[in-house]
Structure 1
């Protein structure tokens, strides 16, 4: 660990000459041994490989089998339709995947193209990829760090490391520091890390790690090691595919057994069995699910969310843990003055008055090297925060410097922890302003200004100042002090007049607190994971309502002492993780997942990328997020707003509910078809439906009504429900009973319609109604055609009515707003019109072998087909009575 070594030991370890650096020959030798200073590229997946991967699904295999069987039966149109569905599904998935997984490429782009270094005693520039361990690299403001360095020189050096560590302000570096124990990356102030940037000052460092051995390389390794897991919905659909596959085999075997037992034509019965098996599989389901997810993606864009992987839409709806980075996600990533202390009073910054507090304001604005002129924000974040404080009362640095030009200065350095600027006022008076650490400034003050009057400073004043600073520190505010000196242009920092304090912090996003509260009511825990200090993290967490005590906070150093299993046991009681490394973040996500949670991870930095990939769903910030974070994430928030995640979760929950409704609708409808056919054949009757009838009904119900259910509007109470169990089956909470019940109901009214024609004619003829007499009557081609038309119309129409009730199985039809789902109205009208067409249009009557129906017959069949709606109302009534009884 080079941060635990002295500069001298680092020279010895890396075998580097202090004054001349490496020789050209030695550098070449080391390069040949270690290779280029670059990240190992992940071999990209080809478009063909992406396409094939979309076909590796049980449901897809079943559909391929269905297409093959349909072709064997001569139903080529059905076979073509199924294949089109499969190929469209795979193409959409391939397009989505081809946009994803570019995290390592983004990491590669972060590396510095050139580096200034000392070789053979000369300062030269070389491509960063040619650096080797032992090279001495020169650093200055604006430079990208080309490799991991042990600093050997640091002059006011500050390095912007937020993308790597999560800290909201640049890290002050000190080459003389030597750590006595293992510490996190953010505390290694004698190190500079690859892909970070120099914000201020200058320095030199010895290359100690290159390529994949750097901290950024370790992150790249973590990203490449993360494997993609199936989403909860994919797992449920995979299980459903297996179930339907088993069902299809059972149907074939059972029908073949019946054929042998009843001494029927075995070949004919085998073809019928295969037709039923195909009918049992809702071939439109994968396409419907894909379309519903794709439409969900479009709706997500309206709530400022870009989805990179289709299944992520639904996964977000199952989230029970939201792990969020602090800086830039829960906070504004903008240091802001929130408290001030002057005239012996601790006040909110909004209480500043230009008339009364002009000296205080002018001092912090003028003793400042940052700039916000013309909208550009250049300089240290703490100094920019002071300029923003001035802007609140319409004071700008550029305006002040015109009337109060700087005539002398002492720049800030990490040893003095102060800076001083001297100015000439409009009245030709001289005033100097000194700002810096409170304790250092206070030691240099012998006077204090109170309400415009300068007094000698006493112990009571000092106590009040320290109490105010302590109060600010408790709120995790960064404290700076200001002092003045008049009539001295030397910029000396003695005998100063204490003026006041400011306290600043990277504040929470105003809307984040409401989002955390909504998550809490929805049974979702918000977890803060940050590279920032414990006190700062805990203060923000308490303000947002994420945590309420210090016992809920743990640091990275404490995590390093725990095994994964030990953290798994403790994690349920933790809410804030501070000063953590990228490895710690992955460990935390795994710990929450070990308890069966669906975990979302949000972040914007390079350091967040491995955990974004490890989480069930990674959410990156679109504005402040690095390309690495976006490449590793499943979703990107275009407004960097934590509250947007809450809206996305609601959308995700609605999408799952819609898909579940669609699945149950399709299965109950197809189950009804199978049972009606199976029952008729078992009792020795002719088939109530022809193959073309089944295909037609599947066409009108597996398309528009199913799709209409898939795009249904969300319930207003959807975020008051607890997260569903990720292992929950699509048939959970009565789903299986519901499917069987509705399937049997549709089957029996279809059989009822099929038997209605022969029974009413037998009664009219005075013939006894028996199974034998019905069988005999159905031997007539005209009678069987009439009976099958009844069954055909009733089956299709009853499923259309069933789809309306499926919109909300807990709400009466009379309490639903049916105009909220105009797609359902269109689907119903279109489906009914198509059903009418097959009995009224001559060419269709011939194709479908149906008969023309009278108005009376249509009324009778429509009334029979409405049974699912009557059933829906009765079930809702029973549920309502039970709920009221249990209250």
Structure 2
């Protein structure tokens, strides 16, 4: 059911509900039909069996055999030592893996315990596990989403979908049908998903999937249903155990018969053979391997890497392919304005992250403070006022500069602060009279600020759509007519930014002479004065390029898998050396159509980047 393509009326009909929500009687029927909205755990082996396994794997059996033979040979001290090695090793191995298993069993903690719904026309707060398909849920800033749902009403609704996509940038949600082709379900802007959260805005949505039928449930099932395979170390240990066991028994039998040739009694020959067999069993090998792997686990923990099984530590040494996320792993997860265009000039911006320190450069020459104020302040003001994010200075709990709100909008605030522009003062000079929220059709948002002597609309949006509404341009404090030549120059600059995988926003203003009867996009967003462009990106981590170089030197191939756009991912991949000249971008929608053989062939034959993918 492609519910994201349906009109709102069709969505209500498809899910058998209305604006008043489901009736209590219908809820009871659906709870019986669909079951509770919970992440079911695939039944695993009991803990006692996991513990006992450490006593009967092949090498442990070899040691048990040696202990029995030691008893027969009349050497109880050796028996105690061997049994002690087996027990200590079993307890130590079980404890290490038990701690790691507990640390990774965190999927259920991401899901909320309560949800707000409309049932029988009344607002209710219910347990999240009681949600059923067809429920009408209410969404507000800060809410965790309890089930997969189709948005039917939104007011600047944005969600953090990082639990599904790995991308922490808030995503705008809309209530209109979405009919684009070759787009995966998680990319649909009118759907919200279990395990995500509402960053800002509010809205209403109709639940269409719960529990294990949700996208989050599918991920949980995949993580729980993967069959364990022997690691390279375990395979080698198995082979070594067979070899050692065979040699020990072979030598024991050989010396048993050799003793007969030398005239030893049957009893002496038997004891001698047992001694040979026990002596050839390396009792210290098992605890030595376990201890060395445990030390490796501890070193990995110090580097914030969680190892579930001890044997996985050695497997890392056999790695020849690394699949990695982009945002927050290869990049800093901090959007940063890198270039701006205003007054006919392209300006480079230095500094990375949310710390408001850096400079502005034109043709390599730093722009002085006075020039920044005269040339850039209107652009900074437009970006700062058409904005709801906040920049938070370091404190005792957080030693770095952080943000509250959308990272893209926060980057505009940081750029303004770098230029010495006071965002707080700009907000205090007037008050916001009205806001026209961002819409996917307009691709713009506007705010109207009222001052003692004037009223100004500040517009922010996609460059092409915003530029189409501009008739004038602001250059060095003067407003001039926007001619076709300048317009083409701006569009070319936008294309150049886009080719470098920079995210570009355009800014414009309009002084409103006569107060309109009502604020609409038609009477506010017209006859605009173009102010400039800001281009931003999430910069790579400083240490990543060197790490990639070392991996390539070691013969390890790196594959980027991201929920971001292909061009952005490719640009980052080139900057840090993951791909060279020829690379192929496979989107999530394309990946769903390809078979395993085709994907494997693509990975082996060329550099591949997987973009716009979801789990």
Q: Same fold (TM over 0.5)?
A: yes
**Counterpart in the other structure of 1:269:** 269
Tell me, yes or no, if the aligned pair for 1:174 and 1:189 is still in contact at 8 Å.
yes
> Once the 2 structures are TM-superposed, how far is the Cα of residue 429 of structure 1 from its aligned partner?
6.1
> Once the 2 structures are TM-superposed, how far is the Cα of residue 7 of structure 1 from its aligned partner?
2.9
SS at match of 1:462: helix
**Counterpart in the other structure of 2:596:** 564
1:465 has 2:490 as partner: yes
Distance 1:345 1:186 in 2: 39
Tell me, yes or no, if the aligned pair for 1:115 and 1:127 is still in contact at 8 Å.
yes
* Alpha-carbon spacing, 1:162–1:296, altered in 2? closer, same or farther (3 Å): closer
Distance 2:567 2:313 in 1: 35
Moved more, 435-444 or 6-15: 6-15
Rg (Cα) greater in structure: 1
> Once the 2 structures are TM-superposed, how far is the Cα of residue 556 of structure 1 from its aligned partner?
1.7
Q: Which has the higher strand share?
A: 2
Tell me, yes or no, if the aligned pair for 1:147 and 1:210 is still in contact at 8 Å.
yes
Distance 1:82 1:504 in 2: 64
Tell me, yes or no, if the aligned pair for 1:255 and 1:270 is still in contact at 8 Å.
no
Tell me, yes or no, if the aligned pair for 1:170 and 1:380 is still in contact at 8 Å.
yes
1:406 has 2:431 as partner: yes
Residues 93-108 of structure 1: matches in 2 within 5 Å? Answer: 93-102=93-102, 105-108=105-108
**Counterpart in the other structure of 1:524:** 556
* Alpha-carbon spacing, 1:287–1:147, altered in 2? closer, same or farther (3 Å): same
Distance 2:486 2:207 in 1: 49
1:554 has 2:586 as partner: yes
Distance 1:117 1:424 in 2: 38
> Once the 2 structures are TM-superposed, how far is the Cα of residue 282 of structure 1 from its aligned partner?
1.3
SS at match of 1:21: coil
| CA RMSD across the alignment | 2.4
Distance 1:207 1:366 in 2: 36
Distance 2:564 2:80 in 1: 58
**Counterpart in the other structure of 1:389:** 415
Distance 1:60 1:167 in 2: 46
Tell me, yes or no, if the aligned pair for 1:117 and 1:124 is still in contact at 8 Å.
yes
Tell me, yes or no, if the aligned pair for 2:377 and 2:421 is still in contact at 8 Å.
no
The superposition leaves residues 801-836 of structure 1 with CA deviations (integer Å, 9 ceiling, x where unpaired) of xxxxxxxxxxxxxxxxxxxxxxxxxxxxxxxxxxxx
SS at match of 1:100: helix
* Alpha-carbon spacing, 1:429–1:181, altered in 2? closer, same or farther (3 Å): closer
Tell me, yes or no, if the aligned pair for 2:93 and 2:310 is still in contact at 8 Å.
yes
Distance 1:302 1:418 in 2: 46
**Counterpart in the other structure of 1:145:** 145
**Counterpart in the other structure of 2:465:** 440
SS at match of 2:50: helix
**Counterpart in the other structure of 1:860:** none
Tell me, yes or no, if the aligned pair for 2:42 and 2:225 is still in contact at 8 Å.
no
> Once the 2 structures are TM-superposed, how far is the Cα of residue 231 of structure 1 from its aligned partner?
2.1
> Once the 2 structures are TM-superposed, how far is the Cα of residue 63 of structure 1 from its aligned partner?
1.0
**Counterpart in the other structure of 2:120:** 120
1:536 has 2:536 as partner: no
1:579 has 2:594 as partner: no
Moved more, 229-238 or 370-379: 370-379
The superposition leaves residues 636-687 of structure 1 with CA deviations (integer Å, 9 ceiling, x where unpaired) of xxxxxxxxxxxxxxxxxxxxxxxxxxxxxxxxxxxxxxxxxxxxxxxxxxxx
**Counterpart in the other structure of 2:370:** 355
* Alpha-carbon spacing, 1:152–1:409, altered in 2? closer, same or farther (3 Å): closer
1:7 has 2:11 as partner: no
Distance 1:246 1:553 in 2: 52
Unaligned runs of 5+ in 2: 351-358, 361-366, 395-401
* Alpha-carbon spacing, 1:59–1:396, altered in 2? closer, same or farther (3 Å): farther
**Counterpart in the other structure of 1:784:** none
The superposition leaves residues 444-468 of structure 1 with CA deviations (integer Å, 9 ceiling, x where unpaired) of 2111122333211111111111011
Tell me, yes or no, if the aligned pair for 1:431 and 1:489 is still in contact at 8 Å.
no
Tell me, yes or no, if the aligned pair for 1:100 and 1:309 is still in contact at 8 Å.
yes
**Counterpart in the other structure of 1:174:** 174
Number of aligned residue pairs: give it. 579
**Counterpart in the other structure of 2:60:** 60
**Counterpart in the other structure of 2:386:** 367
Q: Which has the higher helix share?
A: 1
Residues 842-853 of structure 1: matches in 2 within 5 Å? Answer: none
Tell me, yes or no, if the aligned pair for 1:42 and 1:104 is still in contact at 8 Å.
no
Tell me, yes or no, if the aligned pair for 1:418 and 1:436 is still in contact at 8 Å.
yes
TM-score using structure 2 length? 0.88
Moved more, 466-475 or 434-443: 434-443
**Counterpart in the other structure of 2:252:** 252
TM-score using structure 1 length? 0.62
- Residue in structure 1 matching 2:503, options 478, 481, 493: 478
